[in-house]
Structure 1
Amino acid sequence: MTTLVIVESPKKVKTIGPILGDRYTVMASVGHVRDLPPKEMGIDPVSFALSYEATERGRSVLAKLKAAARDADAVILATDPDREGEAISWHLAESLKLNNPQRVTFTAITKDKILAAFKAPRALDMQRVHAQEARRALDRIIGYRVSPALSNATGQRIGAGRVQSPAVRLVVDLERTIAAFKSTQHYGAELIFSNDDATKWKAQFDTKPHLAPGETYLLDDTLAKLAAAVRNVTVAEYSDSEEGKAPKAPFTTSTMQQDAGKRLKLKPKVTMQLAQKLYEQGAITYHRTDAPNMDEEGIADIAAYAQSAGLKLADKPRKWKAKDGAQEGHEAIRPTQAANLDCGEDEAEKALYRLIWQRAVASQLADAIYAVRAVRLAGDAEGTPVSFKATGKTLVSPGWQAVYAEDAPDEDDEKDETSSNPIPALAVDDALVASDGRLLTKKTKPPVRYKEPTLIGAMEKLGIGRPSTYAAIMDNITTREYIVEDKKGYLSPSSTGEILRDGLVDRFAFIDLDYTRGLEDQLDQIAEGQASYHDVVSAAWASLDDELASLESANLPVAHPCPTCAKGLRRIKGEHGFFWACSDRECKTTLPDAKGKPGERKAPPAPTGINCPKCGTELAHRVGTSKPVKRGMKPRPYDFYSCTSPKCDAKYNTGADGKPVFGDDAPAAKEAS
């Protein structure tokens, strides 16, 4: 008896096959085998049923799988354990005409996980399949219905996306906030004290007691200058205490992408590719997850490693609250075996594995403990009582930070200057003399532009898309140049990105961040059987009917206005190369293409005074040299007469006397090409 097992990746075939043994034949679908048609929407506007067809690669894959399925006694579908994987299994079942197909899932490619999964096969989860179909349908509807209308309204090719467009909006809105920002100059002061061992520590002027109601900053430098001149102070408050700092949760898909971007400078797409390889090698658990918690097996594995390595564990296993709307179908990302300190086939994979390993192992260790010394100093600034505050921290027990060694686990945190502020032991009422003081002149700063990791963080916080889609979203909006990245990785919108945002905001619900988050909730409800595919998709379709009508009357900025009617010009590829035409079908204006931009109209031909025998309109004498249609072809001269009426296509050769040749024996002229 043989059983055919179908997974997604060829790499898994090599990993899983030896675990299952000779009675199993493992083959790969290589991702999706069916998809919506590439050149049409593929959605029935009444039933909203989706029309699928085999992909070009899928046809050859299905042929091999069908042959293998005929020879097998049973077929088990073992694609990835998320909605996309569930949909791929359903497409395989449909294409291979499987009756009551068996489905297994595992969150790590290890012997224990795989054998346990194959002992408990289940039926296909059609609710999860319908949720994936709804996401695909919504993306398709918006792309096919909104993009052409937006392109016509703006005169340039613009693609609207259900989640990509809100991501672009975040970048545009932030850029406009930065542009509108007005800096405020404000003041502070600090005193500097010298210790016996030649080290120095600092105390900051507490401006809050001196602010008027409603003020945030000290705007008058007079008091700040007086405070900076204070030298004699008295200790008003003093304390020594301990402070614990807990580790962060193990990685979810989103936090892995963010941290890999900050610490390893990896693009989200590259991070996901590397994680996929690590997962297929059996090094980490499944890398598409919203869950911040590990399963009991993972916690126990890390505890065993920590004890063997002399690392102090937390008093009890740590758990974290998942963010609202998180899909916790499987655990957080972790190493499958914490004792494996080095996994991956190249340096990039090894670096990402190390990042995942550190985060997961650290999550179960004891807090880092700091000794904290705080002091408040009282002084007199020429009759005005002033106070200064200082805090110093010293690490006394590294706890979870021990697994990071020389690495910086909190690169995203603001620099903590208190860790380098060596305050000596003091007592209340001690008199101190500052060795120096200085005025601090400060300016409020505008918000910082997004980088890809921080944009992903903002999208997750706002509920835009799902973490597993963030890499594709980033790739889409940067490849299409709706946003651009500078040399330091900061993102700013292009003019096209701004036009996209302005064309959608206040007209389409899907660009509103609350709506986007709510729609993700509806997809979750479909997966849980609390909502239906038809209700969610049909409602989105209906709302677009009214919204598209509002776009037709919108007066949007266009990149290249038509010189005749001011509506947008569109670049079109014709038989003889690119040209520009008005997006208004009633306007017949066309312009030549000049390196991707509208060129100038050719001057109208001089009057000939010769009427067209076919319609009576004046003929024009066309003389010139044609552009080569293909590379390597030489330009060809032309010389003929043609009718100037747009409704008449009459053309005539030029005779020896320079005039058009009429008559039955005169062939119609052809422009050289």
Structure 2
Amino acid sequence: MTTLVIVESPGKVKKIGAVLGAGYRVEASVGHVRDLPTDGDLGVAPPSFELNYVPTERGKSVLAKLKTAVAGADDVLLATDPDREGEAIAWHLADALKLKNPKRITFTAITAEKIKAAIAAPRTIDMARVRAQEARRALDRIVGFRVSPALSDRAGQSLSAGRVQSPAVRLIVDREREIAAFKVTEHYGVELTFKEQDGTLWKAEWDTKPHLAEGAEYLLDQSLAAQVAKVRDVKASAFEDAEKGKAPAAPFTTSTLQQAAGRRLKFNETKTMELAQKLYEQGAITYHRTDNPNLDAAGVEDIAAYARGAGLRLAEKPRKWKSKDGAQEGHEAIRPAHADQLDAGETEAEKALYRLIWQRAVASQLTDAVYAVRTASLAGDADGTAVTFVARGRTLIDRGWMEVYAEDVDDDKDDGEEGSNNPVPALAIGDSRTADGARVLTKKTKPPSRIKRTDLGPTLEKLAIGRPSTYAAITQNILNRGYVTEDSKGYLHPAPLGETIRDALVGRFAFAEFDYTRKLEDDLDDIAEAKNDYRTVVAGAWEALDTELGALDSAQITAAYPCDQCGKAMRRVKGGNGFFWGCTGYPDCKNTLPDVKGKPGERKAPPPPTGHDCPKCGKPLARRQGVSKPPKKGMKGRPYDFYSCTGFPKCDAKFNTGADGKPVLDAGDGKASA
């Protein structure tokens, strides 16, 4: 008896086959085997909005191979990935292969225990999850197919809109405009420096809050700051020694893995996902497409067992983290399949990413790092004005989880904790100190930071836009289309095309609004949980676009090539004799221009008057002279010289040129002989 197991990736076949052994045959679908048409057909038919699927080019050969495998099997298990996309692929396979009572299994790690547990508990395909995936696909298709051509027509060049892509572009454009509109506020503070007898230096900073004007956030009085900077003698008015614990970060989700790998390993999000896919296929990590920051019970115990054996101290109870709003939490956070496997991966890049995942997951279950925190308040007098300076010191006294995972530090900031290098001495209330020096601190407010490429996914996730599995593709897409650019430090900047799209969509289309996208994700979740239905959600989006597309006429879209007669955009059109450029104002404006290397060329000058009129219609005749295009490469064109009517195409009369250079008008039929 043979059982056929169909997985998605060919990379999983060998390992899963080795786990299952004799009696099992493992084959791969290589992702999706069917999709919506690519020939320009929308593939979504109202009013039912059923999807028209066709085999992909790769899918045709894959299905042919799988049909043969199915024919030779006694049982078939669909083991595609454990997410909505995988559920949909399982349904496509069952439908295309005409499987009766298809069996579905899932596992979140390619390990013997997970695979065998799944084999022992097959289920039916979850059609609610399939319909949720279909709704996402339909909505993406509808937005792209209906809005993109309308945008392109207005602009006279190919532009695209997308349900998640467009909000991503908007984020980057809006951030750039916030930066441009930001007004720097210069404000002031004062810092005292003290030197102990042993030479130790420490600092205290003026607490400006009691001196702020009502409603003010910053101290703007430079003269007051200069006055305070003259203070030298102070007394301790408060002193506290305390210990402060710092908990570890949650294990990685898809977006936080992309972010951390970008900062620590300098991998972009696409490379990170490719490497994570390889590690998953090798059985080294659990499933890497997840928005759940928590480990399952088996994962917690696996890490705990390793920690106990390695002499690492565990937290008093397993740690849990609050998920982001809208998180599906379909499966656990990313972790090593076995915590006692310290190294994994076939390449140096895979090994580096595995180590990062291992460190973060193991650290998440360990004890807090502990700091000794010392705070001293120092009272002084600035020409009759009572002032207070505050000194803070912080020293790491117990590394805790930092034994396995160094503290996350943003590349552009310090460690974010005030006083980490400030050795404040022990003081008793009333102790006097004389400052060795003081300086006025001139500070400036900073504009919001641009979004880094590897931070775009987490930023979208915070707004509940899209799903983690799509962020790498979205980022790559808007870069490839030239809507945003990336600088040498990895920051994203809007390109003119991106600004054009943002301004055309925002205020006219609901899908360009962040709240809409968040609500739609909730609708998709409701479909997956059978609380809503596919048609209601998709039909609602379709009807909204019917109204919204009309509003596009009011958008001020800068034409790439404006018509020189009416100002509307010219667009490239393929005609019977090749490409040409026509006005989008047609039929009101019939202006056309020739195509020159993909751009509008100059209109040919009208032929000079010849003084001869067409005997057929009375319009002027034009003399045509030149050399025809060569019929084949290496051949020469034929010279020509004739007269034709300028009333063409209504009048197609042609006349030979005589020896005297004049038209031979007695040709009879008005057709040139050569």
Question: TM-score normalised by the shorter chain: which range applies?
Answer: over 0.9
| Equivalent residue, structure 2, for 1:28 | 28
- Give 2:16's aligned amino acid: I
- Match of 2:376, SS? strand
Structure 1 residue 602, shift from structure 2 partner:
3.4
Encode CA deviations 1:260-306: one digit per residue, 9 max, x unaligned.
Answer: 12222222111111111110000000011111111111111111111
- Match of 2:449, SS? coil
Q: CA contact under 8 A between 2:593 and 2:601: conserved in structure 1?
A: yes
Q: CA contact under 8 A between 2:643 and 2:657: conserved in structure 1?
A: no
Encode CA deviations 1:504-546: one digit per residue, 9 max, x unaligned.
Answer: 1111111111011000100000000000001100111111111
Name whichever of 103-112 and 432-441 sits farther off. 432-441
Q: Equivalents in 2 of 1:189, 1:367: separation in Å?
A: 34
Q: 1:56-135 to 2 correspondence within 5 Å?
A: 56-135=57-136
Name whichever of 169-178 and 549-558 sits farther off. 549-558
Encode CA deviations 1:305-337: one digit per residue, 9 max, x unaligned.
Answer: 111222111011101111111111111100001
Structure 1 residue 57, shift from structure 2 partner:
0.8
Q: Equivalents in 2 of 1:263, 1:497: separation in Å?
A: 29
- Match of 1:239, SS? strand
- Give 2:606's aligned amino acid: P
Structure 1 residue 195, shift from structure 2 partner:
2.6
Change (3 A) 1:535 1:565: same
| Equivalent residue, structure 2, for 1:9 | 9
Note if 1:248 corresponds to 2:249.
Answer: yes
| Equivalent residue, structure 2, for 1:591 | 593
Encode CA deviations 1:30-73: one digit per residue, 9 max, x unaligned.
Answer: 01111100021011122111001111111111111101111111
| Equivalent residue, structure 2, for 1:516 | 517
Structure 1 residue 254, shift from structure 2 partner:
1.2
Structure 1 residue 339, shift from structure 2 partner:
1.1
| Equivalent residue, structure 2, for 1:601 | 603
| TM-score, with length taken from structure 1 | 0.94
Change (3 A) 1:195 1:609: farther
- Match of 1:404, SS? coil
Encode CA deviations 1:157-184: one digit per residue, 9 max, x unaligned.
Answer: 1111011001111111111111111111
Q: CA contact under 8 A between 2:176 and 2:494: conserved in structure 1?
A: yes
| Equivalent residue, structure 2, for 1:210 | 211
Encode CA deviations 1:604-661: one digit per residue, 9 max, x unaligned.
Answer: 3222344445654334444567889999998987655554446437374763544556
Q: Equivalents in 2 of 1:650, 1:508: separation in Å?
A: 49
Change (3 A) 1:226 1:3: same
| Equivalent residue, structure 2, for 1:149 | 150
Q: 1:265-304 to 2 correspondence within 5 Å?
A: 265-304=266-305
Note if 1:648 corresponds to 2:650.
Answer: yes
Q: Equivalents in 1 of 2:268, 2:571: separation in Å?
A: 33
- Give 1:283's aligned amino acid: A
Gaps of 5+ in 2: none
Change (3 A) 1:365 1:623: farther
Name whichever of 133-142 and 592-601 sits farther off. 592-601
Q: Equivalents in 1 of 2:302, 2:317: separation in Å?
A: 14
Q: Equivalents in 1 of 2:216, 2:455: separation in Å?
A: 30
- Match of 1:591, SS? strand
| Equivalent residue, structure 2, for 1:393 | 394
Encode CA deviations 1:326-352: one digit per residue, 9 max, x unaligned.
Answer: 111111100001111111111111111
Q: Equivalents in 1 of 2:495, 2:578: separation in Å?
A: 27
Q: Equivalents in 1 of 2:450, 2:467: separation in Å?
A: 22
User: Identity of aligned pairs, percent?
Assistant: 64
Q: Equivalents in 2 of 1:429, 1:272: separation in Å?
A: 59
Q: Equivalents in 2 of 1:400, 1:635: separation in Å?
A: 81
Q: CA contact under 8 A between 1:365 and 1:399: conserved in structure 2?
A: yes
- Match of 1:523, SS? helix
Q: Equivalents in 2 of 1:71, 1:402: separation in Å?
A: 54
Q: CA contact under 8 A between 1:157 and 1:570: conserved in structure 2?
A: no
- Match of 2:45, SS? coil
Encode CA deviations 1:569-609: one digit per residue, 9 max, x unaligned.
Answer: 22345677654321222122223456654444333322234
Structure 1 residue 156, shift from structure 2 partner:
2.0
Q: Equivalents in 1 of 2:488, 2:311: separation in Å?
A: 43
| Equivalent residue, structure 2, for 1:223 | 224
Q: Equivalents in 2 of 1:200, 1:627: separation in Å?
A: 86
| Equivalent residue, structure 2, for 1:54 | 55
Q: Equivalents in 1 of 2:243, 2:9: separation in Å?
A: 51
- Match of 1:250, SS? coil
Structure 1 residue 557, shift from structure 2 partner:
2.9
| Equivalent residue, structure 2, for 1:468 | 469
Q: 1:154-173 to 2 correspondence within 5 Å?
A: 154-173=155-174
Q: Equivalents in 2 of 1:280, 1:397: separation in Å?
A: 37
- Match of 1:437, SS? strand
Q: 1:445-484 to 2 correspondence within 5 Å?
A: 445-484=446-485
Name whichever of 254-263 and 192-201 sits farther off. 192-201
Structure 1 residue 555, shift from structure 2 partner:
3.9
- Match of 1:143, SS? helix
- Match of 2:50, SS? coil
Name whichever of 57-66 and 551-560 sits farther off. 551-560
Q: Equivalents in 1 of 2:435, 2:96: separation in Å?
A: 81
- Give 2:548's aligned amino acid: E
Q: CA contact under 8 A between 1:306 and 1:313: conserved in structure 2?
A: yes
Q: Equivalents in 2 of 1:395, 1:230: separation in Å?
A: 32
Q: Equivalents in 2 of 1:135, 1:3: separation in Å?
A: 33
Q: CA contact under 8 A between 1:204 and 1:390: conserved in structure 2?
A: yes
Q: 1:606-617 to 2 correspondence within 5 Å?
A: 606-612=608-614, 615-617=617-619
Q: Equivalents in 1 of 2:437, 2:225: separation in Å?
A: 14
| Equivalent residue, structure 1, for 2:544 | 543
Q: Equivalents in 2 of 1:117, 1:413: separation in Å?
A: 46
| Equivalent residue, structure 2, for 1:359 | 360
Q: CA contact under 8 A between 2:395 and 2:420: conserved in structure 1?
A: yes
Change (3 A) 1:617 1:46: farther
| Equivalent residue, structure 2, for 1:498 | 499
- Give 1:270's aligned amino acid: K
Q: Equivalents in 1 of 2:87, 2:394: separation in Å?
A: 51
Q: CA contact under 8 A between 1:640 and 1:651: conserved in structure 2?
A: no
- Match of 2:473, SS? helix
Q: Equivalents in 2 of 1:625, 1:377: separation in Å?
A: 95
| Equivalent residue, structure 1, for 2:439 | 438
Tell me the matched-pair count.
669
- Match of 1:470, SS? helix
Across the aligned residues of Structure 1 and Structure 2, the Cα RMSD in angstroms comes to 2.4
Change (3 A) 1:462 1:659: farther
Change (3 A) 1:139 1:669: farther
Q: CA contact under 8 A between 1:293 and 1:332: conserved in structure 2?
A: yes
Gaps of 5+ in 1: none
Name whichever of 144-153 and 646-655 sits farther off. 646-655
Q: Equivalents in 1 of 2:639, 2:462: separation in Å?
A: 63
Q: Equivalents in 1 of 2:593, 2:508: separation in Å?
A: 31
Q: Equivalents in 2 of 1:278, 1:577: separation in Å?
A: 50
Structure 1 residue 548, shift from structure 2 partner:
0.9
Encode CA deviations 1:104-124: one digit per residue, 9 max, x unaligned.
Answer: 000000000000000000000
Q: Equivalents in 2 of 1:340, 1:638: separation in Å?
A: 81
Q: Equivalents in 2 of 1:230, 1:632: separation in Å?
A: 92
| TM-score, with length taken from structure 2 | 0.94
Q: CA contact under 8 A between 1:245 and 1:368: conserved in structure 2?
A: yes
| Equivalent residue, structure 2, for 1:327 | 328
Name whichever of 629-638 and 391-400 sits farther off. 629-638
Q: Equivalents in 2 of 1:174, 1:398: separation in Å?
A: 38
- Give 1:36's aligned amino acid: L
Encode CA deviations 1:325-383: one digit per residue, 9 max, x unaligned.
Answer: 11111111000011111111111111111111111011000000000011111111122
